[in-house]
Chains A and B, each alone.
Chain A
Amino acid sequence: MKLLAIETATPASSVAIGEDDRLLGMSVNVDRRGHVGFLMPAIDFVMSRVGWQPRDIDIVAVDVGPGPYTGLRAGIATAQAFAAAIGAPMVTMSSLTVIALRAATGRRRIWPVVDMRRGQFAVAPFQPLPGGVAPDGAPEVVNPYDFKALLESEGQDALVVGDWHVMPEEARRGLHRVRWGRPRYPSAETMLEIASMRANKGNLTDADDVRPMYMREPDVDINWTAFRSEGAWPE
């Protein structure tokens, strides 16, 4: 089974190709805004290095977030078009799962965080399992101080991974049962592992049904003056 994985949920976009869960090629770029310029040349590069044509791909995997929306949508649109053009099914996954899977701990509760900008972060708890992780609660969007309070109230050993570096230091201080670790960003390499597992279980998604995981209502920034003459004419 030949897989293509596309990751654009954070400033680190990456693409990877692999045979089952074996990585054959990968390209990474860290740039908040460069997703669209990066993706296609990167896919072309890794594919041509192993001599694959687009039609050789059996499964297209994509990270559906949470993460900043513009990059997320660029990855999803790229993956959808690719899958649709060659008639391949897709596998979707959450950025939080992709980060959590690489957290190195045998017993601590894992809290991956993704920077959603404007001082907000997507977080979710995971339990370490032998050879993997299991979600242990629903993802939510919080500010760093709410997150601190959350970790304090949990009262258990935790490992925070992901983009916690962006949180103010004050929000991270004094949490004695918390360790702050890696990875910082999700990676398309990890995605291959998850995708081949899900594909083997038949956990596939049609390209039309792939949606970003937004977790926030859209910002509405139109604010024109209210109409002072409203109601001037009787209906």
Chain B
Amino acid sequence: MSGPLVLGIETSCDETGVAVLEGMSVRSSVLASQVEMHERFGGVVPEVAARAHVEAIRPLAHQALTNAGIHPDQLDAVAVTRGPGLVGALMVGFAFGKSLAYSLGVPVFGIDHMEGHLMAPRLSFDEYEPPAVVILASGGHSQIVHVKGWGDYEVLGGTIDDAAGEAFDKLARFMGLGYPGGPAIDRDSTEGDPTAVDFPRALKDRPFDFSFSGLKTSVVTYLEKAKDEGTLPERADVSASIQEAIVDVLVEKTFNAVEATGVERVGGGGGVLANRRLRERFAEEADRRGVGLFIPETSLCTDNGAMIAGVAVDRLNAGHEGDDLRGDVDPGLRLGA
């Protein structure tokens, strides 16, 4: 495998990620996770995140280059997330990336974090290419995207309130399961019965959209009533039922989009795609319908620097020359807008 050597930097939320790609192959990818710092707050605290990024970024960049076995002078470009995300967090990586590129005399590419997630399966699968339908689900976003070509995206639908990961976080917190909620509910569900409680699946009439606030209310109401009446089921059963409700919606809406667009490839990205039940259900459904499934390993689903570098590799291959030095972060950046 060969191709340009690109350093990718990701600091949009609570993970500092730096990676080196050679073409679409990952030479190194390192991560400084802040999960433990945010745990006691039950969510990502923006100022805590920004402080951690500025401490981690320099040593992490050094480690990524060392692990890749390359000298900074060998880099062909630097790629860095410019949005969407937390402004203070984005600013750290963006300032670092721009300055690094300038000092090395190579182009810098400001990357849409969501496009990074769309690109991530390419780092695992040679056969992943447009047209495809991709589900992006994390703590901050939940969208179904029609990838018509690289750089040509149509957002078909998404959440109208909470992101899927946010729903997991809030419900796990409500149940006293800890943070982050997705992995906590995933673990707790292992011994549970997903059919124990029939929580609602909202927005039946909107094929590509979902809503999780109704689920949240329904779980809270159900649990309080069950507690009062002394009919509380096993916690694992509630966890498994919540998980099943979220998974059902994500799978159904994604495959609605597959059907509507007629594509033969389905991809996935974002932290929620690390959920074991979701991966299992996607695999079953893709198999049943005979479409190709492209959900990369967990480390490429959650935030990472490699997917950011991947977008820049695609741009370089398409002949793009990089961004102007005047560029700034865009916390409200929206895919396809």
Contact = CB atoms under 8 A, between A and B. Distances in A.
Interface of A: 34-37, 39-41, 43-44, 53-54, 69-70, 73-82, 84-86, 207-208, 211-212, 214, 218-222, 224, 227-233
A75 B54 CA distance: 11
B280 to A, nearest CB: 26
B98 interface: yes
Q: Which of A36, A39, A227 has the most CB of B within 10 A?
A: A36
Contacts of B55: 211
B59 A37 contact: no
Contacts of B170: 224
Nearest to A72: B54
Q: How large is the interface on B (under 10, 10 to 19, 20 to 34, 35 or more residues)?
A: 35 or more
B91 A70 contact: yes
A37 B328 contact: yes
Contacts of A37: 326-328
A231 B176 contact: yes
Contacts of B103: 54, 81-82, 85-86
B194 interface: no
B99 to A, nearest CB: 4
A40 B323 CA distance: 12
B204 interface: no
B43 interface: yes
A171 to B, nearest CB: 27
Interface of B: 41-48, 50-51, 53-55, 57-59, 61-62, 72, 87-88, 91-100, 102-105, 170, 173-176, 220, 223-224, 227, 232, 235, 325-329
Contacts of B62: 84, 208
Nearest to B51: A218
19 contacts: A36-B94, A44-B102, A54-B103, A69-B47, A69-B50, A73-B50, A73-B95, A77-B91, A77-B99, A78-B96, A78-B98, A79-B99, A84-B100, A208-B62, A220-B41, A227-B176, A228-B224, A229-B174, A229-B175
Nearest to A85: B103
Contacts of B105: 53-54
B88 A73 contact: yes
Contacts of A229: 174-176, 220, 223-224, 227
B144 to A, nearest CB: 27
A69 B45 CA distance: 14
Nearest to A40: B325
A222 B57 CA distance: 25
A208 B102 contact: no
B327 A207 contact: no
Contacts of B102: 40, 43-44, 54, 82
Contacts of A39: 95, 98-99
Q: Which of B47, B61, B223, B227 has the most CB of A within 10 A?
A: B47
B88 A69 contact: yes
Given A40-B102, A54-B105, A86-B103, A80 B326 contact: no
Contact of A70 (B41, B50, B98): B50
B96 A232 contact: no
B175 A82 contact: no
Given A74-B95, A219-B47, A212 B72 contact: no
